[in-house]
Amino acid sequence: MAEIKFNDIIKPENLVYRKSKVLTDNVMHYCPGCGHGTVHNVLAEVIEEEGLQSRTIGITPVGCSVLMYNYLDVDFQEAAHGRAPALATAVKRLMPDKFVFSYQGDGDLAAIGTAETIHTCNRGENILMLFINNGIYGMTGGQMAPTTLAGMKSSTSPYGRDVAMMGAPIKMADIVAMLPGTCFVTRHSVNTASGVKKLKRALKKAVQYQNEKRGTCFIEVVSNCPSGWKMTPVESNKWMEENMIPFYPLGDIKVPVE
């Protein structure tokens, strides 16, 4: 048998990667190290593999991912700040055969959109809510978000979040898991290969449960914000693992009763 050399294996022609046809060729605007691009890629793969491209409608928020419609070749509707769940509710009720998801960050889902989030989950609207939690307002200058950790510095909490003055960080997944309308609530990250695989499995479950009309699926992704945190991508991943994930532990919080 001929000897296989490592350098031969890693040649570009020997590396197999096929970009999902759901992803467009547009260059993403996200900062280096941001988790949004990875989540977009995983979501695109699931939409393609599940044969959903022609019947998917996404709701984009106000925030870093507002231009998501440039990167996924599916139908999109842009919502006013915080109103993505309300718009997703209308779309799903009017077109119940569509696969409908909202894609939101901390400020959109957990601040200005708290009421829409809670009531949508409480009603059990048959949609998927994707929540990207990086603990800060990334697009508008790194201000403190509802999810900012205690003691964490931001442009509006330069000495660190003071819980006595500013309240404790909100665990949105834990809150919505208590509501009767949610059927599947889980939390993941995409900073490792295993984390990406787990998120993909969760997304496929959400597709299944929406097809079965089980109620609201809520997937939180703990992510990083190198720019907002004033760190390199590598530093931000390490800080996230040491600080964010212990406070926002990964894994299923609520699963359907079979």
Confidence (pLDDT) at 4: 54
Q: Is the pLDDT of residue 5 over 80?
A: no
Compute and round to an integer the Cα radius of gyration of the chain: 19
The mean predicted confidence, pLDDT, of the chain is 93
Tell me: the pLDDT tens digits for 248-258? 999 999 999 87
Q: At 48, list the tokens.
A: 């393609």
Confidence (pLDDT) at 139: 79
Residue 237 lies in a domain: yes
Tell me: the pLDDT tens digits for 57-115? 999 999 899 999 999 999 999 999 999 999 999 999 999 999 999 999 999 999 999 99
Q: Is the pLDDT of residue 155 over 90?
A: no
Tell me: the pLDDT tens digits for 177-224? 999 999 999 999 999 999 999 999 999 999 999 999 999 999 999 999
Helices (H) and strands (E) in the chain, counts: 11, 9
Domain count, the chain: 1
Domain of residue 60, CATH code = 3.40.50.970
Residue 37 lies in a domain: yes
Confidence (pLDDT) at 2: 54
Range of the domain at 48: 31-137+166-254
Residue 153 lies in a domain: no
Q: Which residues contact 188 (CB under 8 A, 6 or more apart)?
A: 195, 198, 199, 202, 219, 220, 221, 222, 250
Residue 8 lies in a domain: no
Share of the chain above pLDDT 70, in %: 94
- Three-state DSSP class for residue 246: helix
Confidence (pLDDT) at 181: 98
Residue 192 lies in a domain: yes
- Three-state DSSP class for residue 30: coil
Confidence (pLDDT) at 14: 62
Tell me: the pLDDT tens digits for 32-61? 999 999 999 999 999 999 999 999 999 999
Tokens 């718009």 sit on residue: 87
Alpha-carbon span 207 to 200, nearest angstrom? 11
Confidence (pLDDT) at 9: 56
Confidence (pLDDT) at 153: 92
